[in-house]
Chain A
Amino acid sequence: QVQLVQSGAEVKKPGSSVKVSCKASGGTFSSYAISWVRQAPGQGLEWMGRIIPIFDTTNHAQKFQGRVTITADESTSTAYMELSSLRSEDTAVYYCARESAGEMNYWGQGTLVTVSS
Chain B
Amino acid sequence: SSELTQDPAVSVALGQTVRITCQGDSLRKYYANWYQQKPGQAPVLVIFGKNNRPSGIPDRFSGSSSGNTASLTITGAQAKDEADYYCNSRDSSGNHLLFGGGTKVTVL
**Chain A residues packing against B (C-beta within 8 Å):** 35, 37, 44-47, 50, 59, 61-62, 95, 97, 99, 101-105, 107-110
Contacts and interface: CB of A to CB of B under 8 A. Distances in A.
Interface residues of B, number: 24
Interface stretch (B14-22, B64-72, B74-82, B88-96): B88-96
Contact of B42 (A44, A102, A107): A107
Mostly helix, strand, loop or mixed at chain A's interface?
strand
Interface of B: 30, 33, 35, 37, 42-45, 48-49, 54, 84, 86, 88-90, 95-102
A3 to B, nearest CB: 12
Nearest to B55: A105
Given A107-B42, A107-B43, A45 B88 contact: yes
